[in-house]
Amino acid sequence: MGKDECKTMLDALNKVTACYRHLVIALGSTSDSQNLREELKKTRNKAQELAVANRTKLTALLKDKNISKDDRAEYERLWVLFTSSVELLEVDMKRSLEIGQDFPLKVPTRHLIQTGMTGSTTTVAARAMSVQNMKYEADANIDTVDLKELETEIAQVDQMMEEMEMKVQVAPWAVEAKQEAGAELKSTVSVGNSSVGVISICEEEPKETVEGETGLMKVFAGIIFTGVLLIAGILGYLVVNL
């Protein structure tokens, strides 16, 4: 079913976003290294793939007009989750660009901040990529090359977000979250049906529905009118016959 697929994909995106953030936090510190840069790149690419896949899926679902109100509300909630994920990802990407530029790896006098972290981030990256072991096959100057790629990728993500905002108009503030405060303490994620959303997808659709509705209402009003006339006639008749 579309909803479950969406949810799993969103979960995956969420996981990758969290791992990416974790990796970016390690940038510039003593646990920084070539490997970290490569991990960042790989995680980033994976995140972008997932984002694009999610987006196409969700936009297709939201554009569908034949879904029930509950379904629509649910998709809107998922949409809000998706946009928050992508926003977080974008911010992290921008920050990694900045920090990466400040802390190049191949300079002779490199001073990485000694933060106390000495372990590697391989396991985190492996978790992000859903692999058992990470393979590192990048070049030596990955840090500088990667930064250029990173810039283009940031521009791409920006563009994607703008498109998303334009095409799908979901009011994020109108979505009610299903988790109440303190829900993270519970181990399972409960998925109920309690959110409300406001939607207006494209310009063409609302017009027809409104027109159809007024036509119906006119007929309805005409029926009321004839009914009242009938009652008036009957009353008159009764008065006469009394």
Partner 1 sequence: MERMIISMQDPDMGIKLRNQRLLITVIPHAMTGLDIVEWLIKKCSISDEEALHVGQLFVKYGYIYPLKEPRNLILKADDSSYRFQTPYYWMSTRWPASELDYAIYLAKKNIRKQGELIEYEKECYNALHKRINHTWDFVVMQAREQLRASKQRRKGDRIVLECQEQAYWLVNRPPVSPEHYKLTTLTKNTINSYHNHFYVKYCEQYQPHDPIMQGCLPSNPWITDDIMFWNMNSETVALPTKLRVERWSFSFMELLNDQMGRKEFLTYLEKEFSAENLCFWQACEDVRHGETAKIPEKVDEVYKQFLAPGASRWVNIDSKTMEKTLEGLKRPHRFVLDDAQMHIYFLMKKDSYPRYLKSELYKNLLARAIVPQETKKSVFPFMRRQRHSSPSPALATQTAEDDGKAKYSNSNSGTASRILDSSVHISLYVEIQLIMHFKDTLYDVAIMLYEIRYITNFQLFNECVFFSVLSVTCLFHTLVLSLMYLFDIKFFLPAINVLLSQFIDIY
Residues 14-43 that bind partner 1 (CB under 8 A): 14-15, 17-19, 21-22, 24-31
| Cβ atoms 57, 9 nearer than 8 A | yes
Residues 77-96 that bind partner 1 (CB under 8 A): 77, 80-81, 84-85, 88, 91, 95
Contacting range for partner 1; rule: CB under 8 A; set: 34-42, 57-65, 137-145, 166-174: 166-174
Residues 104-143 that bind partner 1 (CB under 8 A): 111-119, 121, 123-124, 126-128
| Cβ atoms 197, 171 nearer than 8 A | yes
Place of tokens 């209402």: 217
- Residue 190 touching partner 1 (CB under 8 A): no
Write down the least CB distance from residue 161 to partner 1, Å: 15
Write down the least CB distance from residue 77 to partner 1, Å: 7
- CB of 65 or CB of 183, closer to partner 1: 183
The DSSP code sequence of 23-49 is HHHHTTBTT--HHHHHHHHHHHHHHHH
Tell me which of 4, 107, 152, 182 binds partner 1, using CB under 8 A. Answer: 182
- Residue 63 touching partner 1 (CB under 8 A): no
- CB of 68 or CB of 173, closer to partner 1: 173
In angstroms, the CA 28 to CA 102 distance is 8
- Residue 163 touching partner 1 (CB under 8 A): no
Counting Cβ atoms within 10 Å, is residue 145 exposed (0-12), middle (13-18) or buried (19+)? middle
**Pick from 102, 93, 105, 101: which is nearest to 32 by CA?**
105
- CB of 4 or CB of 116, closer to partner 1: 116
Write down the least CB distance from residue 118 to partner 1, Å: 7
- CB of 66 or CB of 242, closer to partner 1: 242
Contacting range for partner 1; rule: CB under 8 A; set: 58-66, 131-139, 154-162, 168-176: 168-176
| Cβ atoms 191, 178 nearer than 8 A | yes
Write down the least CB distance from residue 66 to partner 1, Å: 26
**Pick from 148, 153, 137: which is nearest to 35 by CA?**
137
Residues 198-237 that bind partner 1 (CB under 8 A): 214, 217-218, 220-222, 224-225, 228-229, 231-233, 235-237
**Pick from 9, 87, 22, 21: which is nearest to 49 by CA?**
9
Write down the least CB distance from residue 37 to partner 1, Å: 14
What's the DSSP call for residue 184? G
**Pick from 38, 45, 1: which is nearest to 23 by CA?**
38
